[in-house]
Amino acid sequence: MIGILIMSTTALILGIILMIIEAKFGYDMDLEKEFEKLLPNYNCGVCGFDTCKGMSKAMIEDPLNYKKCKPLRGEKLRKMEDYLRKNKLI
């Protein structure tokens, strides 16, 4: 009986810890992946970052970093700006 109580309490505590971690870091990770999908993924380095993944990480700090991406034009640019406006990031 005590074993079940200890296991249940441990599971509850771990669940709460996981919720806190998700709340703190989960949104940024989703944003980073979304930015990376919207970038052209040429990994050319023209923007000053080594890869588009580096650019997507920088966009979490300042979403206007997307303007440094020279290959981002046309439909991709429109999609990026629409996404940023929709999520009130610009």
CATH number of the structural domain 26-86: 1.10.15
The two structure tokens encoding residue 24: 């703190």
What is the tens place of the pLDDT at every residue in 12-49?
999 999 988 877 776 666 888 999 999 999 999 999 99
| DSSP string computed for 45-64 | -TTSSSSHHHHHHHHHH-GG
Does the reported pTM lie above 0.85? no
Closest by CA position to 10, among listed 2, 26, 21: 2
